[in-house]
Amino acid sequence: MSIDRLLLLWLALEFHPPTGFEMNHQTVTPVFVGGLRTPFGRAGKGAYKDVRPDDLLVELFSGQKTKHADLWKYGPRDVLVGCAYPEGEQGYNIGRIVALGCGIDVPGMTVNRLCASSLEATAIAAARIRCGWGDSYLVAGVESMSRIPRRGANFSTSEQIQVVSKTAYTPNGITAENVAIQFPEWDRVQQEDLAARSHTLAFRAFERGYYSDQIHPFLIERDEFVRYPVDREKMATLKPAFSEKGSVTAATSSPLTDGATSGWVTSRSVARSAGFSTALEIVDVAVSHVAPELMGLGPVPATRSILERNDLTATDIAAYEINEAFAIQVLASASSLGLPMDRVNNWGGAMAVGHPLGASGLRLVMTLHDRLIHDHSSGDLGVATLCVGGGQGMSLLFRRIDL
C-alpha cells in the first residue's frame, strides 16, 4: 500500500472512527448515592474490638440491602473495598470474600492506597462508569485497628529503598511534627482550637440528626470518640505524643478506630431509576505526592490540581471535607490553599468521629454528600481530600445535581 493511501486511511479513521468505537466509548456521568456506614468504635476497647472486620462489613452490606433495596435491582457489577492493611482477617481479597458472605453474586476486589483506599475505590468505580464499562458499583472501606496493627503484622523496612529515600518510612506522627516545624504560626493552642471545634461540631451534627441518614446502628448508635463539652484544661495538660519538644498530642491527632463505610457509584440514569432525586456527580480526581516526611501536606497539590484543572478558585467550593489525621496538617493545608475555614469540616472531622484508615475516604464523601444536600443554598461544589502515608494526597471534586 502506498504512503498516500496509508495517509488517506489514517485520516478516515481519525475523523470517522468505527461505529463500535463510538458506542463503547460514550461518556457517562458517574454519581455517588446511598452512603451508609457503621458508627466508628474505639480501637482496643470499644464496641468492635472483638468483631472481625470482614464480619463488620457483612453486617454493613446487610444494612445496605435493607435501606437501599431499589439499587440492588441494578447491580452491583462489582464490589470495590478499600483497606489500608489487607492482611489477616482483612486479607484474602476481603472485597470478594464479603460479597460471598453476603450472598451477593458478584465479583469483588480490594484496593490499597493506605488512608485514601476507599476514596480510590470510589474513583475507580467512577472511571469505569465514565468509560461505559459498567453502570453500578458498590464501594466500601473497612479497617479494624483493634485486630490488625498499624503498618501490618510483619512490617519491615528495605535498606535498598532507604539508600534512595532516607525518609520513605517516616512515621506519620513524626511527619505531623515536621509540618508543625514548617508552619510555626499554627502553635499548640491553635491546634487544640481546631480539635475542640471538631468535637463541638460533631456533637451538634449528631444532636441535630445530620448524621442519621448515613449511620447503620450496630452495637452502638454513635461514634464513640465525640467529647462534649470539650475539656480544654485537660487537653492542655497532655504530653506531646511523638516528640518530647513537639506540639502534637493525642487530642490533636485522629484516634485509633474500627469501622466500615459503603456507598454506591452508579450512572445518573441508574440512580434516577432507583428513586434518588439528588446525587453527587463525581467530576474530577487528582492524586499527588509530597516529601514523605511532610505527608500531611498531601492535600495541597492534589486539591490545587483539581481547582486549576477545572478553572476554579478556593472560594468557588461550597464545602470541603479534609480528613483530620492531625490538626496541624489540616491547618497547614487549608492555609496553603486559602480555604475558607467556615466551609471546612462543618460537621466535625476525624479527630472527633474517628479515622478507620481505609474506610475514611468514603466517610468524607458521604458527609460531603449530606452537607451539600442539607445546605443546598450554599452552592453545589464540594471537595473531599486526604493526606496519605508515604507522602501522597488525593482529592475528588463533586457537584450536587438533581436527577
Candidates 115, 199, 216, 369; catalytic one? 115
List the beta bridge partners of residue 280.
Answer: 32, 400
User: What cell was used for 50?
Assistant: 472483638
Q: Is the dihedral of CA 203, 209, 214, 218 positive or negative?
A: positive
User: What cell was used for 206?
Assistant: 449528631
115 has catalytic annotation: yes
355 has catalytic annotation: yes
User: What cell was used for 353?
Assistant: 468521629
**CB count in 10 Å sphere of residue 158:** 11
Q: Tell me whether residue 166 is exposed, middle or buried, using C-beta atoms within 10 angstroms of its C-beta: 0 to 12, 13 to 18, 19 or more.
A: exposed
Q: How far is CA 56 from the centre of its chain?
A: 18
CA dist list (Å): 167 to 113, 154, 170, 287, 384: 19, 20, 5, 20, 27
Is the CB of residue 38 less than 8 Å from the CB of residue 216? yes
Classified as helix, coil or strand, 280 is strand
Q: What share of the chain is helix, strand, coil (3-state, %, to 5)?
A: 45, 20, 35
Write phi, then psi, for 114 (nearest 5 degrees): 45, -125
User: What cell was used for 145?
Assistant: 485497628
Q: For residue 224, which of 356, 36, 51, 39 has the smallest C-alpha distance?
A: 39
Q: Tell me whether residue 17 is exposed, middle or buried, using C-beta atoms within 10 angstroms of its C-beta: 0 to 12, 13 to 18, 19 or more.
A: exposed
Candidates 68, 199, 216, 387; catalytic one? 387
102 has catalytic annotation: no
Is the CB of residue 32 less than 8 Å from the CB of residue 280? yes
Q: For residue 138, which of 312, 315, 260 has the smallest C-alpha distance?
A: 260
Distance CA 207, CA 239 (A): 31
Spell out the residues 6+ positions from residue 17 whose beta carbon is closer than 8 angstroms to its own.
Answer: none
Give ∠ CA 100-68-320 in degrees, rounded to 5: 105
Classified as helix, coil or strand, 73 is helix
Residues forming the active site: 115, 355, 387
